[in-house]
Chains A and B, each alone.
Chain A
Amino acid sequence: MSRLLRLYPRAWQARYGPELEDLVAHRPLGLSGSIDLIRGAMDAHRHPELVDPAAADRAAGLAAVSPERYEDLRVARRLGLASWLGAVPWIAGWVIAFNGPIVFDGDGGYRDGAAGAPFVLLAMALLAAGLIGQMIRISSRARAARVGALVAIVAGPVWGLGPWVLPLGIAALAGILVLALGAWRAGQWGVGAALAIVGPTLGGVAITGWALTAYGGDRLSVLNPMLLAVVAFTPIWLVVGATLLRLPALADPDGGADGLIGEVVSA
């Protein structure tokens, strides 16, 4: 699929994607065609009502599912709620840590953030729960996304045990980014969800890099920009949770007229 077509909402991709691909295959886009396609994608996001949203569900593997698969997705949904809850200790842990008692050593003063560490660890554990939910939900076709989730499941909680070990944090963030981009490429996530993780995460990394460079020697002043970075990373918990919430319809085991015995339901 042309990369520009991926800018369209999933429902549009599902409904018009093959036709658009065929058209683009016969008529190379060129600059004006590319701009027109981007405008079309923006219009499609503004007018989702033009396409049946069930088309997106079918494209995302959310067509009516078997009772067994439905139960799995309900479990994944609960894990998504856990991920949402994880945003609270994530913020709280760092606020507590950044307001810890000032301790002086041979290199000057720093905040003793030990009191916040259990909260950060809890946040990472809850995020790992949400990522396990992603492993349950995401199709096996989305291999890159699943590998990214797996890396983050392992690296995240371990980093939570020792937040000063930056390589582990970087590995967890890289896993999250691969999950977001891989799920988007495979049509499992919408472009909005992927961007909601990629944008803030890269922003948080940039803030962290800048803060460590600019204030690295001043272990007290560096905390202010680092709090901004903490906030920038928070959408990770929210998006991982949000993408697990929608449940599909349940397939009729007897194969009814429309194959469904219920609408999308909430657990």
Chain B
Amino acid sequence: MNRGLTEFGRFAEPTLYILVSLSDGPKHGYAIMTDVEAVTGDPLGPGTLYGALARLERRGMIEALEPEDRRRPYKLTALGATTLRTQLEGLAGFTRLGLARLGGNAR
């Protein structure tokens, strides 16, 4: 069941970033961190990253793969992909609405 990311509290935003990062293939923690930093411009702290990863793993939105040395890659599950799509579509609708209103005010 898709319950969205709001239940993650302060981890809602980091979990969204992580899901987006994993949407093009499995990555380990350090790769996720650098990818998120490249996309958002802000580094994701290690405590926040693993707090979010633990929550996503617990909810079945990501899955841990076999470790490679000390690094363990994670991949998006079907539930994670559905959740991400729903979240992004909601944000897209929200963005369109905001921009439309902003455009109306500008006129």
Contacts and interface: CB of A to CB of B under 8 A. Distances in A.
A18 B48 CA distance: 16
Interface stretch (B17-25, B66-74, B85-93, B94-102): B66-74
Nearest to B55: A50
A35 B45 CA distance: 9
A50 B58 contact: yes
Interface residues of B, number: 21
22 contacts: A16-B54, A19-B28, A20-B29, A20-B50, A22-B69, A23-B33, A23-B46, A24-B46, A29-B46, A33-B45, A36-B46, A36-B47, A37-B46, A39-B45, A39-B47, A43-B47, A43-B51, A44-B51, A47-B54, A50-B54, A50-B58, A51-B54
A41 B71 CA distance: 20
Grouping DSSP codes into helix (H, G, I), strand (E, B) and loop, the B interface class, with mixed when no group exceeds half, is helix
A33 B54 CA distance: 18
Given A22-B71, A50-B58, 18 more contacts: A12-B50, A12-B54, A19-B29, A21-B70, A22-B70, A23-B33, A27-B46, A33-B43, A33-B45, A35-B45, A37-B45, A37-B46, A39-B47, A40-B45, A44-B54, A47-B54, A49-B58, A50-B54
A213 interface: no
Contacts, number: 71
List the 8 shortest-distance A-B pairs measured between CB atoms, nearest first.
A40-B47, A36-B45, A22-B70, A18-B70, A50-B54, A36-B47, A37-B47, A23-B30
Contacts of B53: 16
A26 interface: yes
Interface in B1-52: 28-30, 33, 43, 45-51
Interface of B: 28-30, 33, 43, 45-51, 53-55, 58, 67, 69-72
